[in-house]
Amino acid sequence: MSMLILPALLLAIPNAPPQGPSVKNIFDQELAAFRLAQEPDGNYGTPLDTAHVLIAMALSPRAYREDDGPFIRRAVEWLIQETDALSLSSSCDRNFAVAFALHALDADRYSKAIQRLRNACPEQKDGWRFPEGLQTAASILGELKPIDSLPTRAKICAKAARAYYRDKKAIPPPSPKEVSQAFDQGIQYLLSSRGKSGLWEIFGHPEPGISALAARALLASDSKEAKEAASVTLDFLKDLQKEDGSIHGGHLPVYVTSVAMMALAAGERPEDKAVLARAANFLRATQSDEGESYSEGDRYFGGIGYGGDLRPDLSNLQYALQALHDSGATSDDPAMKRALVFLQRSQNRSESNPKTYKKIGSGETVRAGNDGGATYMPGDSPAGYVRLDDGSLVARSYGSMTYALLKCYIFAGLTPEDPRVEAAVQWLGHHWTLEVNPGFDTLRDSRAGFQGLYYYYLSLAEACAVAKLDILEGSDGQEHAWRTELQAQLLKLQNEDGSWVNQYAERWWEGNPVLCTAYALSALAKTR
């Protein structure tokens, strides 16, 4: 996933003062240590120890699932092989722990194994429960001692993960008044961050991309001051239009044209219709299609990139399709139809993506997996790769691109019943989390999942709204009302001055509070 490119000096934002390790940090440290202790056959010790490790991984803030890697997948395979023997045993605590782990990872897929384990102890129908009382995940993790063995550490981490999950579910959703107050505070932050030009500036000069994103966020407000500030930005963007229809200040013509179109379309000003029409034609002309001597057999057919890069990507494509949609394009638009080819090739679903690709740089074979999620472009993912037994690779699916895929599928005319859409929605439900951008290997790099976090929030909100989803079902069968959960998360992360900023991963320019605040406000607007 790529985003707005800004001067590196923007990232020189002071970090928060040092604090003690957070619950998330402690889980990261412990789970990384467990991973190193995994046996060749996949286990982490006894079935009970392995169940404890899997519970900790599944219910921790990272919400790991089987397709995150062999550290989960092979452990589950080992446990499943053991279930026949376990179901003949009367060790109820162990059996219920294993059943609980399988339920947390994928309740539907392992329903038969779960039932066999529970049937072995008919007098204890309830099995494992979430910890009762006032003990929090932090206090439970505080019981860890340096001399503790792996079984002891796994047991404590499993209990802490259950408490974390319990407490997260118990947090009441924010009231409409609280959401409105947070939204208004964010709007005021954007207004106060303008330069002398009345726009959002870099080194004293208006920055078109950020200004467009900020204006789009302002236009979701009822404030007269916000709308007037947005109008100044729309005039600025309109005056930037080039003869070919693009709108930019000399850099990233496709990306900036897309976000400028979103802002202009949100303004709903009659005088901007001709500007939007010319810009839409520019975007159509940049698509990798027959006009550029591409055929459907070419890897990147139907995609759109930054404009200076010969490789299209799903991030730019979703912005371009959003811009076309906002300016009036329908699913019958030829650009939408051509995009469908690229979209399918960016999805880990071999039935609709049977081709193999060469990994950029190494030439290794990359093929589609079958988890239903999406990558950055066909055969490529910044979230990494999984190596299969035959030596080929699968590009890892991750959250923001899977939401982008879902949104674009709907723009292209696919229905909720289409198996490609269903596969994407299932991946999103099974990887539901607001703590990180899911899909990255955070056991190797604890900050990886924070990359593009606010872009992820916006992609989530836009995709769910376009797809008319109210609920996403987790792998454990729990239903997630995305609107209220996203509202609660964004309100929790808002700074006192009304801004949002990614304090954990500044990659993709999320160390800039104006950019993150624009993302957060546009996401909040989709929840109201």
Beta bridge partners of residue 393, listed in sequence order: 366, 387
As a whole number of angstroms, the distance between CA 241 and CA 257 comes to: 9
| Spatial CA neighbour of 79 closest among 57, 281, 61 | 57
pLDDT band at 372, cuts 50/70/90? very high
Query: Counting Cβ atoms within 10 Å, is residue 437 exposed (0-12), middle (13-18) or buried (19+)?
Result: buried
Q: Is 407 left (phi over 0), alpha (psi -120 to 50) or beta?
A: alpha
The residue with tokens 């090739």 is: 345
Report pLDDT digits (tens) over 263-298.
999 999 999 999 999 999 999 999 998 777 788 899
Residues 6+ apart with CB under 8 A from 126: none
Query: Counting Cβ atoms within 10 Å, is residue 169 exposed (0-12), middle (13-18) or buried (19+)?
Result: exposed
Task: Give the number of other Cβ atoms within 10 Å of residue 308's Cβ.
Answer: 9
| Spatial CA neighbour of 79 closest among 57, 63, 95 | 95
What mean pLDDT comes out for the span 442-461?
89
Whether 9 shows a pLDDT value over 60: the answer reads: no
Report pLDDT digits (tens) over 417-426.
999 999 999 9
Report pLDDT digits (tens) over 31-48.
999 999 999 999 999 999
Triad 85, 87, 93: Cα angle to 5°: 110
DSSP code of 377? B
Q: What is the pTM of this model?
A: 0.87
The secondary structure element, H or E, covering residue 393 is strand 393-395
Report pLDDT digits (tens) over 117-136.
887 776 655 545 555 556 88
3 state DSSP class of 374 = strand
Phi, psi angles (nearest 5°) of residue 386:
-115, 130
As a whole number of angstroms, the distance between CA 330 and CA 324 comes to: 8
- Contact yes or no for 303/408 (Cβ under 8 A): no
| Spatial CA neighbour of 275 closest among 247, 256, 233 | 247
- Contact yes or no for 71/37 (Cβ under 8 A): no
User: Which domains are seen in the chain, by residue range?
Assistant: 23-170 (no CATH), 174-527 (1.50.10.20)
What mean pLDDT comes out for the span 369-382?
96
The structure tokens listed for 291 are 């006009």
The secondary structure element, H or E, covering residue 72 is helix 70-86
- Contact yes or no for 395/379 (Cβ under 8 A): yes
As a whole number of angstroms, the distance between CA 355 and CA 300 comes to: 12
As a whole number of angstroms, the distance between CA 315 and CA 3 comes to: 8
Alpha helices, H only, 240-386: 253-267, 273-286, 314-326, 334-345
Q: How far is CA 89 from CA 51, 86, 95, 119, 374, in A?
A: 16, 5, 8, 11, 42
Whether 335 shows a pLDDT value over 90: the answer reads: yes
Q: How far is CA 127 from CA 51, 120, 357, 389, 478, in A?
A: 14, 11, 47, 37, 18
DSSP code of 66? G
The structure tokens listed for 179 are 């959401």
Report pLDDT digits (tens) over 470-491.
999 998 888 999 999 999 999 9
As a whole number of angstroms, the distance between CA 256 and CA 216 comes to: 13
Edge-to-edge, what's the strand order for the sheet holding 356-358? Answer: 356-358, 365-367, 393-395, 385-387
- Contact yes or no for 505/450 (Cβ under 8 A): yes
Report pLDDT digits (tens) over 301-331.
999 998 755 689 999 999 999 999 999 999 9
- Contact yes or no for 98/51 (Cβ under 8 A): yes
Q: For strand 201-202 and strand 356-358, is the pairing parallel, antiparallel, or unpaired? A: unpaired
Average pLDDT, the chain: 90
| pLDDT given for residue 122 in this prediction | 67
